[in-house]
Amino acid sequence: MAKELNLTNHLLTAMPGMGDENFAHTVTYICEHNDKGAMGIVINRLLEVNLGEILDHMKITCTLEEVRKRPVFFGGPVQIERGFVLHTPNGDWDSTLPITKDLGLTTSRDILQAMAEGAGPTKSIVALGYAGWGKGQLEQEIKDNVWLSTPASEAILFDTPVEQRWQTAASALGIDINLLTSEAGHA
C-alpha cells in the first residue's frame, strides 16, 4: 500500500505556468493536510493594507508604529474577510491550530490584541484569507506538476524578503525557477 502524501509544514512553490492568477508566482505554507483536504497560507503576496488598518477596523487600540506598519498578506482566495496569524512560538491563544511544536496558526482576536500591545509572538505573518483544497485535489495538482514542494523553513517563512520567497523556496530544492518552463516535454 502506498504511503499517503502529507504536506503539512511544507512550502508549495507555484510552477511558472500556474494558470490560476490567485497562485501565480506564489509560495504557500501548508498548515494542515489530511484525507479530507489541505489548507495553507500564501506567504509572498502582500495586500494594500497594513496591520494598523486591520486593528482599527477591529477596534483594537495600537499606538506602536512598528506594529501598525506591518504588512498584511493575501493568504488565499477562501474567506478573504477572515484573518489568520501564522506564528512562532506556539502560544496559549484562544483558537490555534498547532502545526509543529514551534509553529501555529491562530484565528482568534486575542493574538492581535497581544500584538497591538507589543506582546505577541516573536515572528508572525498576518494574512486575510487562506488557500484550500478538497479531498485529493492537492495530490492531483502535485501529480500534474502544478507545484514544487519542499519542507518549510522558518528562515523562508519569516526572514527572507517577501519578493525573494518564490525563488528562495525553489532554490531550497536546488532549482532555479527562472529556468523552468511551463511547456511539457514530449519524446
Kindly report, residue by residue over 110-162, the tens digit of the pLDDT.
999 999 999 999 899 999 999 999 999 999 999 998 999 999 999 999 999 99
CA distance 126 to 58: 14
Rounded average pLDDT over 41-52: 97
State the pLDDT at residue 186. 42
Kindly report, residue by residue over 80-102, the tens digit of the pLDDT.
999 999 999 877 899 999 999 99
Whether pLDDT at 166 is above 60: yes
CA distance 27 to 147: 9
Confidence of residue 175 (pLDDT cuts 50, 70, 90): confident
- Backbone φ and ψ of 14, nearest 5°: -65, 135
* Closest by Cα among 19, 54, 38 to 128: 54
- Length of the chain measured in residues: 187
Residue 27 carries which side chain, given as an amino acid letter? V
Domains of the chain by residue range: 10-179
Kindly report, residue by residue over 47-76, the tens digit of the pLDDT.
999 999 999 999 999 999 999 999 999 999
* Closest by Cα among 2, 5, 4 to 147: 5
CATH 3.40.1740.10 fits 10-179, yes or no: yes
Burial-class residue 60 by CB neighbours within 10 Å (0-12, 13-18, 19+). Answer: middle
Query: Which pairs count as long-range contacts for 136-145, CB under 8 Å and 24+ apart, including other chains?
Result: 137/37, 137/38, 138/7, 138/33, 138/37, 138/38, 139/5, 142/5, 142/7, 145/15, 145/184
Confidence of residue 31 (pLDDT cuts 50, 70, 90): very high
